[in-house]
Amino acid sequence: MRFMSPTKGNMTMDDVAADISAYIAEQSEDRYRLIVGSDSQPHLARQSTLFVTAIVVHRVGKGARFYILKRPYKRPIPLRQRIFMEASMALEIVHELEKALGPHRVALPIEVHLDVGEDGETKALIKDLIGWVTQSGYLPKIKPESFGASKVADRYSKS
């Protein structure tokens, strides 16, 4: 699994975990949010779908660092299935991140940002997705609060 960081370049999950720990340690008195969110984009001309998962460590009021994982699929995928795949990928990355943080584990609740909202076609999926993330032990966020998915991952899913 190779992540891309605009700050650090290509990184493994272990590199990401170490960088998150170091970033928090730099200013440990500040408040932080640890966020994982996914987005996807069908590319009909290429008959494919690109899934992007973002890990964001947000130093509240003072910026953030993020890490991107891209996963291409060789076929277009319908919206409902894509949304559930996005959530599944975000949860998978959360589990991997927790393992990689291991002894460096920071005492932060992990937010899972879902690319769904009260407006639009995804409204009907909100209850199921929130239940899934909550039962998995994480804090779900939906639009407009889910910037990890709807802004960060979205930006990189368009390429």
pLDDT, residue 127, reads: 98
Q: What is the largest CA-CA distance in the chain?
A: 49
Averaged pLDDT for residues 131-145: 98
Distance CA 50, CA 146 (A): 19
For the chain, list the domains and their CATH numbers. Answer: 3-157 (3.30.420)
Per-residue model confidence as pLDDT tens digits over 40-69: 999 888 899 999 999 999 999 999 999 999
pLDDT band at 106 (very low <50, low <70, confident <90, very high): confident
Work out the angle at residue 6's Cα, subtended by the Cα atoms of residues 150 and 88, and round it to the nearest 5 degrees: 40
For the cut 80, the answer to whether the pLDDT of residue 104 exceeds it is no
For the cut 80, the answer to whether the pLDDT of residue 26 exceeds it is yes
For the cut 90, the answer to whether the pLDDT of residue 1 exceeds it is no
Per-residue model confidence as pLDDT tens digits over 114-129: 999 999 999 999 999 9
pLDDT band at 158 (very low <50, low <70, confident <90, very high): confident
Averaged pLDDT for residues 136-157: 95
* Of 104 and 10, more confident: 10
What share of the chain in percent tops pLDDT 70?
98
Residues 6 or more apart in contact with residue 41 via CB below 8 angstroms: 49, 50, 52, 154, 157, 158
